[in-house]
Amino acid sequence: MKVLANDGVSESGIKALENAGFEVLTTTVAQEQLTNYINENQIDVLLVRSATTVRKDLIDACENLKIIGRGGVGMDNIDVDYARSKGLHVINTPAASSQSVAELVFAHLFGGVRFLHDSNRNMPLDGDTKFKALKKNYAKGVELRGKTLGIIGFGRIGREVAKIALGIGMKVIASDKFVGKATVKVEFYNGQFINVEIETEPMKDVLQHADFITLHVPAQKEYVIGEKQFNLMKDGIGIVNAARGGVIDEVALIKAIESGKVAFAGLDTFEQEPTPAVQVLMNGRVSLTPHIGAATNEAQDRIGTELADQIISILR
């Protein structure tokens, strides 16, 4: 049987599949050529990440397909219900990248409170001539310890974020439509751990009381955070979106930054990927990464082996 990993897959995943007798192809096929390639090569399993879409037309045209796999959590680039109605298995790896995304959230948070995103832009330009002025500009940072982190969406990734927050001494409050309370296990290097039970609250309460907000929700038809929600927040709040583009109204975000309501934002996902709005990219109070939340070596290894295990289980 043949597996096409069109957006790539880790070497560990390839080895696991090959050891089970699968042929793994890692050719990156252009979207418009994908249907023909799948049919000509009799592909049984199509693996994608976020770059490749799998819509009804491809599903209908590729009768040999048995499994569609998404390396990651969100499956908004796949017509999941339609594929399953046609008898295909649709799989993903919801737990594999949680730690990586959580750490990126804190990269944005730590950078934001100490102005690293702006300092790293300006030091190469003016560090040799305006060192004292830059030092003064960036000398009013704050600590995360003792502050309140509001987590919108308290699933796997939200709870991983909570673990880090609790570990550095933050208070954690959370909101989730489907989770009433959760026990967060904070583990330490030597095998010790503590369990912290967190009860979720209405989102408006989280928005009003948090010093920082991070979002971990799936793609929505409407904004989760817009002008109305920004108005509920404390002045000088920091906000991070490493979930999905479109959950924050970016026009309202820039307006909130310019008014001083939002001190800084960290964005890993954008409304207009892969061409984010220039107003977002050029704003000095926005910390930017190009949708790399799951892009660590460790996460990719976990994604590859988890996909391989599921494929082998289904087809063998």
Per the structure block, which two tokens stand in for 296?
Answer: 């660590």
Side by side, the strands of the sheet bearing 237-241 are: 171-175, 148-152, 212-215, 237-241, 262-267, 286-288
- For residues 24 and 9, the answer to whether their CB atoms sit within 8 Å is yes
- Candidates 250, 255, 266, 201; CA nearest to 231 is 255
Active-site entry in 23, 143, 187, 273: 273
Among 244, 250, 285, 306, the one annotated catalytic: 244
CA–CA gap between residue 74 and residue 218 (Å, rounded)? 7
- Let me know: does 30 contact 59? Beta carbons within 8 Å: no
Give the other-Cβ count within 10 Å of 265's Cβ. Answer: 26
Contact 194, 212 (CB under 8 A): no
244 is catalytic: yes
Place of tokens 């000398």: 139
Beta carbons of 38 and 11 less than 8 angstroms apart: no
**Which of 60, 23, 100, 30 is closest to 297 using CA atoms?**
100
Indicate the DSSP class of residue 55: -
Element (H, E) at 264: strand 262-267
Instruction: Give yes or no: 11 in active site.
Output: no
Q: Nearest to residue 6, comparing CAs of 27, 24, 22?
A: 27
Q: What is the DSSP letter of 268?
A: S
Catalytic residues: 244, 273, 291
